[in-house]
Amino acid sequence: MRLFLFCLFFIGLYIQATAQKVDTQTEIIELATIFHNNHVKGSPDESTLEKLKNIKSKELVFSKKFILEIITEQNSIISEPFLTKPDTTDLKNIYIISRLNHKMFGSENVSLFDELAILRAEKTPYNELVNFYYDLIFSLAENKNKGLTFEKINFNLDEFNLSNDVEKGIFFLNCMNIYYSGIKFFMDYNKPPKMKEAKEYINKYPKFNGKEYYNYKSLAFQDFVFRLDKRKPKESFKQHYINIYLQVLFYNYVLLVDANDHEQTELYEHSILSQKEYWKFSTEPEVFEELYKMTN
């Protein structure tokens, strides 16, 4: 009799654990669906808020907070609770939720549960998870925050649980990445370039560790590969992000042509524009070689 009761006890534990696992899977898909339907415009309606409230998995506490914040208008996604790097489980769950969101845009008839199983089993490199997380934050911040500007923000990279120069570089380059399209619009897509507007735009760049953005040079970490486009092979992180960052710096340098020589010299000498080891990541290294000749 005791053996029978003992078996029943462990069968009950197994059923309970299995049910919890199924619940978590279902709730991940629910979060992905909520994100998919609400991440572009507007704020979640009452029915969506009720769905979020009903998500009970302990594993998804942070993911639930994150999704609620990022789909809400005039949110605080650019704040310490979310800019602080979460733990590995939370990084992976945010990654999965966003990847499931991408699948929902596809025309193919896929089972989200099958896709979820694939993503959970995937051995995603840690640096890719960190990069995916900060890319998501900075690329979507403007969607729900009208008139968002970082001009009065100082990002102290020692305050966000970033473990090393790789993770700090990921944070920095993803933040600066969002300024590329804006400065390019003023400088390249308008003939003649809108210099005044471009200068005003640059003045909205944030500071890092209490200094102007261009002073940040801790980018000599080991490169890694990541997937920018699911239809293409993985590519070099530095080839993508440092190439863009060098262009942002170059536009800034050009816009200082009417300023005094000291400002241009300071930007050049205190940024990676003057460091040859980074030019190889540019799609136009000859531009920086010529700039070097002009300044030496």
> For residue 2, is pLDDT > 80?
no
> For residue 172, is pLDDT > 70?
yes
> In terms of pLDDT, which residue wins out, 34 or 227?
34
Helical ranges in the chain per DSSP H: 2-38, 46-53, 61-70, 80-83, 88-105, 112-121, 126-144, 165-177, 180-188, 195-202, 237-255, 261-269, 285-295
pLDDT of the residue at 40: 85
Nearest to 141 by CA among 93, 209, 74: 74
pLDDT of the residue at 11: 55
As a whole number, mean pLDDT of residues 268-288 equals 96
Task: Using DSSP, state whether 212 is helix, strand or coil.
Answer: strand
Q: Which tokens in the block code for residue 265?
A: 């010299």
pLDDT of the residue at 183: 92
pLDDT of the residue at 3: 55
pLDDT of the residue at 143: 85
Start-to-end CA span in the chain (Å): 90
- Could you tell me if 171 and 162 are in contact, meaning their C-beta atoms sit under 8 angstroms apart? yes
> For residue 157, is pLDDT > 80?
yes
- The torsion of the CA quartet 242, 243, 246, 247, rounded to 10 degrees, works out to -140
Q: Which of 55-69, 102-116, 229-243, 253-267 is modeled with the greatest confidence?
A: 55-69
pLDDT of the residue at 229: 78
**Mean pLDDT of the chain, nearest integer:** 90
As a whole number, mean pLDDT of residues 140-168 equals 92
Give the percent of the chain with pLDDT over 90.
72
> For residue 270, is pLDDT > 90?
yes
Burial of 133 (0-12, 13-18, 19+ CB in 10 A): buried
How far apart (Å, rounded) are the C-alpha atoms in residues 203 and 196? Answer: 11
Nearest to 199 by CA among 254, 152, 236, 240: 254
> For residue 261, is pLDDT > 60?
yes
At 14-67, the pLDDT tens digits run 555 554 454 899 999 999 999 999 988 888 999 999 999 999 999 999 999 999
